[in-house]
Amino acid sequence: MSYRQTLDFLLYEWLQADALKERARFADHNRETFAAVLDTCERIAREKYAPFNRTVDTEEPRFDGETVILPQATYEAQRAYAASGMLSAARDYEMGGMQLPYTVEAAANSFFAMASVSIGSGLLTAGNANLLMAHGTPLQQAVFAQNEFAGRFSGTMCLSEPQAGSSLSDIATRAVPDGPNYQADPLGPRFRLRGNKMWISAGEHELTENIIHLVLAKIPGPDGKPVPGTRGISLFIVPKKLVDTSGQLTGERNDVALAGLNHKCGWRGTTNTLLNFGEGKYPVRAHQGNGGLDGAGAGAIGYLVGEPGQGLRCMFHMMNEARIGIGMAATMLGMAGYHASLDYAKHRPQGRPIGLRPNGGQNQGDGASAVGKDAARPQIRIIEHADIKRMLLAQKAYCEGSLALQLYCARLVDEQHTGAPEAADEARLLLEVLTPIAKSWPSEWCLEANSLAIQIHGGYGYTRDFPVEQYWRDNRLNMIHEGTHGIQALDLLGRKVLIEEGRGLALLADRIGSTIDRARRRPELLEFADQLEQALQQVASATRAAWASGQPGEALANAVPYMQAFGHTVLAWIWLDVALKSCGPAAGAAGQGRQLAARFFFRYELPKIAAWLNVVQSRDMTCAHFPEEAF
Ligand SMILES: Cc1cc2nc3c(=O)[nH]c(=O)nc-3n(C[C@H](O)[C@H](O)[C@H](O)COP(=O)(O)OP(=O)(O)OC[C@H]3O[C@@H](n4cnc5c(N)ncnc54)[C@H](O)[C@@H]3O)c2cc1C
């Protein structure tokens, strides 16, 4: 089955995405317009991305002291992406957008993630511009966001610092008003920023005319000290090059300097940077006031977005879509490995079939043939071995199941934005609960899929002559950025399942229950419906037990095993629902494949939740109480 066939099935037959055309916002769309977008993206990904995936891995970004050097292919790929209109696909027509549903946008972007995740499409730039559309002033939108949508400028998200990754309340970057008239700047209240931002993706390059950094920093209170905690964090637009109110470059370089490039395990096509803000390498507009710095124009100029102290809230506004984007990237890297290893397994001859012993297991007769050692017989292709099929089926179950989950979440985003009020509110709440899973589950299990793809290739998989080791290296990032695995788990068990007195969890249980009811009417799915009902009860009971003592330290000590069990239960639900759409002879080989992948998930994967939930249920403190000196 080609990837496109799988995608089309999930979009149209399972999710009925074409029904979105009934919504006023999408009235000009239909299945043909969706297909045209998918076709264009598939073609650009095939022509401009896939052939250069290895190039961008081996020709890592370099800094010559002046500029960052990237392969030519990156320029061409990103130019083609911007020209396709995908950066503003979901925006209004008046803004040059296509008013495309997010479901279709996410599906279309999946081709780029599969072809070359690290060349990058527009996740950061579009996320940056969308944030400004939600929280910026009309002029900030026109000057910065519009030019990002047009591909003239690109965007970054500058949250992390060397000493503050997961714990953003500890950021040390400071912002002080830039002179007495700082409020009067038409681009927004003008501040001077000083500090270091670590790990900033796409933080320096020459791919676009300008780079628009969105930077979190603290404004000192009246006592000159920063407000502690996240309440003190504000958000600023810090352009690499200053612009006027019509978006034209003024010719002034802002005081943002590349301190160094990070040399990564994978995802090497995208620069990753340590940026120094306001250290005086590029003194700028000394005459406009120095904000109490050194009087020589030091301090990067930044324009406040939204209200002071609301920086994290503004950033988190975009979190659901950003995390679905990461989940989709992890999924598609898994999918790329699945297709590569499937192809390899169909062509690699190795070993002989294990037959049945004659006479019901007595060691007589054709013994060599029975154990697969009869050299007189021709070798078989490895796809004929049961263990290889196990590894292929696991990849199929992880990656196609995860793709279905990402598209389901993307469909919830559309519901939240265009649905009737009650449905929109339910979608919002479901997204709260499902987003940590949409991000973390593929980061773990589609990475495991990549490991299985290497295994199927044997020794060849461990070399750079085949693409699968790169997929694994690229995918390894996804459990780390956009909130580590551990942080996602704390968010799920510590916050998401509790919000609105557990209404989100109850709503999810309702949706799962409705799938179970429908599956019970099909004899071939009855066994799985029962198993899923039991899993759901186990998750609910473990959630209660985790919090039974009311001690966060006990409840959250096993947050990751909880998230693993929760995620597997969600994926079992997704697979059962997909299997319901794949019943009957009309579903053909593709339908049979989905039915069997669902069976695999229920028989080989879902039973794992018992072990994960055991430690949650009993609030096991083996790890939490392990004495440091005993390591
Ligand atoms: C390639 C790459 C690209 C990135 N791009 C960007 C970007 O564009 N913009 C940006 O702002 N950042 C970016 N990041 C930063 C990324 O978001 C951080 O690396 C991440 O948030 C973790 O922070 P840290 O590296 O400081 O690790 P730490 O926060 O030090 O975490 C180390 C370990 O401790 C665990 N841990 C931390 N706190 C807790 C806790 N309270 N309870 C339990 N466990 C805990 C974590 O789960 C992790 O396993 C990027 C990172 C990488 C590697």
The percentage of the chain sitting over the pLDDT mark of 90, rounded to a whole number, equals: 89
- Vertex 462: Cα angle to 381 and 608 (nearest 5): 80
Burial of 546 (0-12, 13-18, 19+ CB in 10 A): buried
**394 vs 504: CA distance, rounded Å:** 30
- Written as six digits, the tokens of 266 are 């994978």
The answer to which of 32-36, 217-221, 282-286, 316-320 has the lowest mean pLDDT is: 316-320
Residues 436-478: pLDDT tens digits? 999 999 999 999 999 999 999 999 999 999 999 999 999 999 9
Sign of CA dihedral 518, 523, 528, 529: positive
Q: What per-residue confidence (pLDDT) applies to 356?
A: 64
Residue 433: name the closest of 562, 535, 550, 533 by CA. 562
- What's the 165 CA to ligand 1 centre distance in angstroms? 4
Residues 67-110: pLDDT tens digits? 999 999 999 999 999 999 999 999 999 989 999 999 999 999 99
**Cα first-last separation, the chain:** 48
* 381 beta partners: 349
Q: What per-residue confidence (pLDDT) applies to 357?
A: 64
Q: What per-residue confidence (pLDDT) applies to 231?
A: 87
Q: Is the pLDDT of residue 257 over 90?
A: yes
Residue 606: name the closest of 557, 562, 571 by CA. 571
Ligand 1 neighbourhood includes 494 CB (under 6 angstroms):
no
Q: Is the pLDDT of residue 319 over 90?
A: no
Ligand 1 neighbourhood includes 201 CB (under 6 angstroms):
yes
**Does residue 272 contact residue 264 with C-beta atoms inside 8 Å?**
yes
Q: Which of 125, 160, 236, 326 to mutate to test the pocket of ligand 1 (most atoms within 8 A of CB)?
A: 160
| 327-356 average pLDDT score | 95
Residues 218-230: pLDDT tens digits? 999 888 888 888 8
The secondary structure element, H or E, covering residue 48 is: none
Phi, psi of 289 (to 5 degrees): 105, 150
* 350 beta partners: none
Residue 498: name the closest of 423, 409, 569, 436 by CA. 436
Which residues, at least 6 apart from 22, have a Cβ–Cβ distance to it below 8 Å? Answer: none
Q: Which of 484, 490, 495, 623 to mutate to test the pocket of ligand 1 (most atoms within 8 A of CB)?
A: 484
Q: Is the pLDDT of residue 564 over 60?
A: yes
Nearest atom, ligand 1, residue 483 CA: 21
The answer to which of 41-55, 167-181, 291-305 has the lowest mean pLDDT is: 291-305
* 213 beta partners: 156, 238
Coil, strand or helix: which one is 610?
Answer: helix
- What's the 452 CA to ligand 1 centre distance in angstroms? 26
DSSP 174: E
| 165-182 average pLDDT score | 95
Q: Is the pLDDT of residue 292 over 50?
A: no
Number of helices and strands in the chain (H, E): 21, 12
**91 vs 101: CA distance, rounded Å:** 9
Residues 591-617: pLDDT tens digits? 999 999 999 999 999 999 999 999 999
Q: What per-residue confidence (pLDDT) applies to 70?
A: 97
The pLDDT-based confidence of 291 (bands split at 50, 70, 90) is: very low
Ligand 1 neighbourhood includes 452 CB (under 6 angstroms):
no
Indicate the average pLDDT of the chain. Answer: 94
Residue 334: name the closest of 170, 247, 457, 448 by CA. 448
Residues 346-374: pLDDT tens digits? 999 999 998 766 555 555 455 666 677 78
- Written as six digits, the tokens of 86 are 């995908």
Q: Which residue blocks in 283-318 are alpha helix, DSSP H?
A: 311-317
Coil, strand or helix: which one is 583?
Answer: coil
Q: What per-residue confidence (pLDDT) applies to 297?
A: 65
Q: Is the pLDDT of residue 417 over 70?
A: yes
The pLDDT-based confidence of 293 (bands split at 50, 70, 90) is: very low
| 414-434 average pLDDT score | 97
The pLDDT-based confidence of 286 (bands split at 50, 70, 90) is: confident
Which residues, at least 6 apart from 477, have a Cβ–Cβ distance to it below 8 Å? Answer: 264, 265, 266, 267
- Written as six digits, the tokens of 394 are 């696991």
Quote the crossing angle between the two packed helices 421-456 and 319-347, to the nearest 10°.
Answer: 30
- What's the 485 CA to ligand 1 centre distance in angstroms? 9
